Amino acid sequence: IKFLEGLEIDPAGNNNNNDNYYFIAEQEWGEFTRGPANPDNPNATVWRYRHHAYYIDEQTYQLNGRDLTIPVLRRKRLTPNGGMVTETIMEGVENMRFLFGLDTNADARVDTYRDVNSMTAANWEDRRGILTVQVFILVRALQPDASLNQLNQTYTLGEDANQRVLEFNDQFRRALFTTTIRLNNIGASQWRI
C-alpha neighbours within 13 Å on the C-beta side of residue 136: 17
Predicted confidence (pLDDT) per residue in 10-45, tens digit: 888 877 888 889 999 998 889 999 888 989 888 899
132 vs 109: CA distance, rounded Å: 10
pLDDT in tens, 155-172: 999 988 899 999 999 999
- Under a CB-based contact definition with an 8 Å cutoff, are residues 129 and 102 in contact? yes
- Residue 2, pLDDT > 70, answer yes
The C-alpha torsion from 158 through 163 and 164 to 165, rounded to 10°, is: 90
pTM of this prediction exceeds 0.75: yes
50 neighbors 3 (Cβ within 8 angstroms): yes
> Residues 6 or more apart from 146 whose CB is under 8 A from it?
171
pLDDT band at 193 (very low <50, low <70, confident <90, very high): very low
Domain boundaries, the chain: 2-51, 52-92, 94-189
